[in-house]
Structure 1
Amino acid sequence: MAEEGRLFLGVEISTQQIKTIAINSRLDVTNEYNVKFDTELPEYKTHGGANIHEDHVTVTAPTAMWVKALDLLLDTMKADNFPFSRVAALSGTGQQHGSVYWKKGARDTLSSLNPSKSFSDQLQDCFSIRDSPIWMDASTTKQCRDLEEKVGGPQSLTDITGSRGYERLTGNQIAKQYQTQRAAYENTERISLVSSFAACLFIGDYAPIDDSDGSGMNLMDIRTRKWSPQCLDACAPNLDQVLGPIVPSAQLVGKVSQFLVERYDFSPNCQVGAFTGDNPASLAGLAPKQGDLIVSLGTSDTVFLWLTEPKPALVGHIFANPVDTTAYMALLCFKNGSLTRERVRDDNADKSWDKFGELLQKSPLGNNGNIGIYFDITEIQPVVEGVYRFNEKDEEVSSFPPEVEVRALIEGQFMARRVYSETLGFQIGINNGDPGSACWYCRDTFQFVTSTTHK
């Protein structure tokens, strides 16, 4: 196929929808499609793409819903005359930490799908556990503590896997399924992450887990990029066989299945790259390099770090870097993000971002020594709730003038982002790219300056 005619497809199974984007060789976006779970597949009765159970801590998504959503997505594209035959390669991403349990015998079904029938019609009985645990689940505290104890404590688990035991991480979810649904686990042929599950549907076979998404499971040794036998044994028996191999995030895992060739007119030469998690994909999509720090401002703020010498700590996560197999990425999440900023805006700036910006400019960098800490809800790091204000004399005060409050919020949030980034091994202004333009943060004035002017 001539280069100018090729298309490249990206697919994502996120929490609330499945979506795809097509680009050409010039990286121009040519097509976009999505299927929203709640509104377009109401029969699954999800809210925000999930089902919250009666205990309020168990959160799942119907695996069959994701399959049916892919049917609907591809059928919509076909009805729109999307040129599947021009797709030279595809890859994608999935919400991190979700898990899919393939029933024994499912591989045979997956590899021999009838193109006259849908994915959903043929795969509906292929899952030993029908409701997939997802990242919102918080029901595995016992399994987290058990895993930490079996490997020598929280820091030992962190040193191996990059994270202490977290309820949403997949290893703890698998341990729970083994303990509470033993027969279903023993009838499981393969466990996929949401990302590798999506890849399975495209290649018509079990796709391997990529190392970057795999490092968010409390099961992989982040330095060897292989499963940790100690962690596997602590969660469930024969887990190395059930999980299958780990591959680099950039590896090709096969070509599209004959089912897709015949049903949608994909080219039989269309390559499929390993799918990865949404957080690693966010890092990769910004094309970072060593020393880069990326801040995503949302309901929760997320900080992504490119690391070469990580320091695993009991805060945040360290994953295998999806771009460079010799590097790492760190992820820090802060609950008090946009909603906290909006609350301070509403209280001090008449609910106007323009006025918020004007107030920010009225107080100088460093805020004349006034510092604020704003945790409207219990923060992840540190585990604290409340609002704390300190004046230039380091005395706690009950309030600030609006212009001081606004700057205290912004500077306090970013100081916290820096402190925890350094805890994981990130060094601002040291070996971070071009030394002539590296960013330092002056502790005396709370002001960002370049290394060439820093004294």
Structure 2
Amino acid sequence: MIEETRKKTFLGFDFSTQRLKAVVIDEDYAVQQEADVEFDVDLPEFRTAGGVVRGEGRGEVTAPTLLWVKALDMVMDRLVVAGVDFSTIEALSGAAQQHGSVWWLKGSEAKLASLSGDQFLHTQLATCFAADSPVWMDSSTTADCKALEEAVGGPEELARVTGSRAYERFTGSQIRKMFRTRPRVYQNTERISLVSSFACSLFVGKIAPIDLSDGSGMNLLDIHTKKWHEQALQACGDETLASKLGDPVPTATVVSAICPYYVQRYGFRSDCKVVAFTGDNCSALAALRLRSGWVGLSLGTSDTLLLGLHSAAAPPAGHILVGPTSAPYMALLCFSNGSLTRQNHRDRLVGPSWEAFNDLLQATVRGNMGYMGIYYDTAEIVPRAAAGRWLQDAGGRPADKLAPQFEARALLEGQAVARRAHAEDMGFVLDPSSRVVATGGASVNTALLQIFADVFNTPVYVQDQHANAALLGAAIRAAEVWSSETGTKLTGSEPTMSPVASPYPDAERIYKPMLDRYRKIIENIPRLG
């Protein structure tokens, strides 16, 4: 078969909290095969619940690192059963849960370099890990967060330099806790990986570098210089920490060709490229292929905004990461009161029917006659605020209750206004080419999407592809980096999206004043520490 006509496919992995997923796409970016392993069900010997183990200490949450290795053995076998022809795979990449850390024992890199294709990975790497992996759910590092912020000049300075204030789940404070409470583990560690770079290491036969996008979710990386921040390193470890982390690389880096283990065991081509793995949110942004001025909107249990940014302002809330694609930076804003809060108030107002709830919306006008509401059923992340409910009438006066139709619209408009206000506070600027790209379970609700179109004064689209954006993004990044490296145009490189809502001509006149009102309301909401 001549080279130009040989079938070309691309492989993506997602090492998420509860399962490992894999997908193969072709040149059109159409899904060919998939496989997954659910940790609790398929690997009961590790005794996880929801993919993690909760420790005896307050807030401690870890995962057995070897669990992820054994899951990879299993998912590779399931890809074989699914009929994947590994000799057609030109490149692979992956995504992983963010912020988790992997602690490689001294001598581990030598074991990675000498893997035998006759044995499973997990039997060969069983003695490579100095400790279980702290993951993003861990909240046991409050004291370490405060110490890190103090060491670099306060939370605002840490946010300016690293893109975020100190958060318990972030890797820097987790490393500081390990250094402080388990010094022997720290000293016996050859390298510290993120879950993403750890997973990449399993494919390249050496400890893979941390990519800049996922690396900027550690509170250790200077997002302006793209290098480790010396004061943050000193606050979290000793003089060996920089060498334990290694030098970070751009997310679009080809780390190396796949290691011989996979050529021998599964029949991969020896020149199959392994593109740096990254964090799941970074990978989701890559899957949405957001351009400048576009907004990725994930409408799930919580709502997440993903934005491509040209510059990195110090975020008052949320996070700024180094961009995984062409935009220099990405903003990540997570709102804990998303679909679950919408559902709670739907049930309260009309019962378990979105159709009945949407009928309430139709009984009101855009702008809601000036009524506004903020609904936090649980503590909110952006802004960091306690649970509560705040209602106002058209004159800005507090209101005890509203008629059901006004409450329904106040809930949804308040959420959409909050998303736009905080995006603008991060430096996001709407322009005529802007669009909102919606994903997640609630993206099927066209009434909700119409409100977002009006509030953002820009069309809303939905993607016509795979529901798991992080997983699809991993395969797409592999394809696009391979395409760039080889100069080969791929037919799937243009995203396929469908418009589902467009703003009314008077949308900006109605909603722009509500942004200012929202900002004034939240000034008086009780904040969390």
Name the TM-score, length of structure 2 as normaliser.
Answer: 0.81
More helix by share: 2
Letter in 2 for 1:132: S
Q: Give matches, 1:147-226, under 5 Å.
A: 147-226=148-227
Number of the residue aligned with 2:510: 445
User: How far, CA to CA, are the matches of 2:253 and 2:352 in structure 1?
Assistant: 48
Number of the residue aligned with 2:244: 242
Residue 304, structure 1, aligned to residue 369, structure 2: no
- Structure 1 residues 54, 94: closer, same or farther in 2, change over 3 A? same
1:32 offset after TM fit, Å? Answer: 0.6
Q: CA RMSD in A?
A: 1.9
Secondary structure at the residue paired with 1:127? Answer: coil
1:388 offset after TM fit, Å? Answer: 1.3
Letter in 2 for 1:289: R
Q: Is the 8 A contact 1:215 1:221 kept in 2?
A: yes
Give the paired residue count: 443
Number of the residue aligned with 1:377: 378
Partner residue of 1:67 out of 66, 69, 74: 69
1:119 offset after TM fit, Å? Answer: 0.5
- List alignment gaps of at least 5 residues for structure 1: 449-455
User: How far, CA to CA, are the matches of 2:324 and 2:457 in structure 1?
Assistant: 24
Q: Is the 8 A contact 1:3 1:25 kept in 2?
A: no
Matched-pair identity in %:
46
- 47-56 vs 361-370, which moves further: 47-56
- Structure 1 residues 385, 443: closer, same or farther in 2, change over 3 A? farther
Number of the residue aligned with 2:106: 104
User: How far, CA to CA, are the matches of 2:48 and 2:163 in structure 1?
Assistant: 32
1:431 offset after TM fit, Å? Answer: 8.8
- Structure 1 residues 431, 264: closer, same or farther in 2, change over 3 A? closer
> Which whole-Å deviations, capped at 9, do the CAs of 1:206-246 have from their partners, x for residues lacking one?
11111000000001110111111121111101111000111
More strand by share: 1
User: How far, CA to CA, are the matches of 1:42 and 1:239 in structure 2?
Assistant: 34
1:84 offset after TM fit, Å? Answer: 1.1
Number of the residue aligned with 1:451: none
User: How far, CA to CA, are the matches of 1:55 and 1:357 in structure 2?
Assistant: 46
User: How far, CA to CA, are the matches of 1:195 and 1:185 in structure 2?
Assistant: 20
Number of the residue aligned with 1:405: 407
Secondary structure at the residue paired with 1:246? Answer: coil
1:276 offset after TM fit, Å? Answer: 0.6
Partner residue of 1:268 out of 259, 270, 275: 270
Q: Is the 8 A contact 1:429 1:438 kept in 2?
A: no
> Which whole-Å deviations, capped at 9, do the CAs of 1:126-152 have from their partners, x for residues lacking one?
0111x1011111111111110110111
User: How far, CA to CA, are the matches of 1:23 and 1:43 in structure 2?
Assistant: 32
Partner residue of 1:418 out of 417, 420, 445: 420
Q: Is the 8 A contact 2:20 2:37 kept in 1?
A: yes
Number of the residue aligned with 1:453: none
- List alignment gaps of at least 5 residues for structure 2: 436-455, 459-502, 514-529
1:56 offset after TM fit, Å? Answer: 4.5
> Which whole-Å deviations, capped at 9, do the CAs of 1:390-436 have from their partners, x for residues lacking one?
12232222222221111100000111112211221112348969xxx
1:447 offset after TM fit, Å? Answer: 7.2
Number of the residue aligned with 1:89: 91
User: How far, CA to CA, are the matches of 1:382 and 1:104 in structure 2?
Assistant: 40
Q: Is the 8 A contact 1:366 1:447 kept in 2?
A: no
- 104-113 vs 414-423, which moves further: 414-423
User: How far, CA to CA, are the matches of 1:302 and 1:135 in structure 2?
Assistant: 16
User: How far, CA to CA, are the matches of 1:308 and 1:376 in structure 2?
Assistant: 34
User: How far, CA to CA, are the matches of 2:292 and 2:5 in structure 1?
Assistant: 31
Name the TM-score, length of structure 1 as normaliser.
Answer: 0.94
Residue 314, structure 1, aligned to residue 316, structure 2: yes
Letter in 1 for 2:64: P
Residue 258, structure 1, aligned to residue 260, structure 2: yes
Secondary structure at the residue paired with 2:29? Answer: coil
- Structure 1 residues 229, 447: closer, same or farther in 2, change over 3 A? closer
Letter in 2 for 1:398: D
Secondary structure at the residue paired with 1:364? Answer: coil
Q: Is the 8 A contact 1:10 1:22 kept in 2?
A: yes
